[in-house]
Structure 1
């Protein structure tokens, strides 16, 4: 029963990431969008590992819908986003919400694109940073607003499942 619930929740969060991919942030490439907010929510509400998976799948699906503008580099971006969501979930779970948000924004908006400097060049990376930073801020702030409002539903659902197991 719990495994089925986790699969359903994971699928719902990935679906929200895909839906968020249609809310674009203007950028030189077409894959900057609201796709990481569901991953942050999954990391905080389910587990950091769930957030990692939702971020990775969510980014790859977003990139696919945009036509993979960075080609195979999107796999690297998906891994970066996965680890950022994972660490967001770890920090959020320790009630370090501000640190989690700052880490995600700096990691996704500045540090992650800097890894592509040798491949894409200075101009491309510096051209991407403003839109990635804006997207990271908007995704993180939206997650901070939504997570506390969804958390009671997750608690009630977990209590109902635990009660059903005892019966």
Structure 2
């Protein structure tokens, strides 16, 4: 791994930490922009590194929020890794529309499925609308700023 990639990953993890501090309460969940930098990072970095940024961003966001789900946040970080890893793989394969839907469904619905069994069905049904909204907001902001970041990267390359 090149030093430049490590430095870029550190910048995106820092941006995820900042996005994780932006909390919008929504029922039992909260919306934070911690995943957005990882989605943008997927445009420039390999899938595993983009996934690592998402996992670190979630853990930092949870830490700022008081770790309300305790050790379950490790599971959520793994799910975030997987959702952004898939997003990056779809991006690399040119499936530009599919990557957004896969991220929103993966992060907004599929990631909540283990909690149906681990906590309760009520927790699952109560959290999915907020998670879908949070995933959609992260994806929308990333989709909006991606062309600007890509153009800026081209100018500095």
Three-state SS of the structure 1 residue aligned to 2:42 is helix
Which structure has the larger Rg over C-alpha atoms? 1
Three-state SS of the structure 2 residue aligned to 1:26 is strand
- Written as runs of structure 1 = structure 2, the 5 A alignment for 1:15-94 is 15-29=14-28, 32-94=31-93
In structure 1, the partner of 2:154 is 155
Greater Cα shift, 122-131 or 68-77:
122-131
The count of aligned residue pairs is: 157
Structure 1 CA distance, aligned partners of 2:95 and 2:137? 19
Could you tell me which runs of 5 or more consecutive residues in structure 2 were left unpaired when the two chains were aligned: none
Give the TM-score taking structure 2 as reference length. Answer: 0.92
Deviation, 1:31, is 5.4
Structure 1 CA distance, aligned partners of 2:106 and 2:134? 12
State the superposition RMSD in angstroms.
Answer: 1.6
Q: Deviations over 1:137-161 (max 9, x none)?
A: 0101111111121113323444xxx
Three-state SS of the structure 1 residue aligned to 2:59 is helix
Three-state SS of the structure 1 residue aligned to 2:137 is helix
Q: Deviations over 1:123-148 (max 9, x none)?
A: 11111111110010010111111112
Q: Deviations over 1:29-57 (max 9, x none)?
A: 46541100001111122221221110011
Shift >3 Å, 4+ stretches: 28-32, 155-158
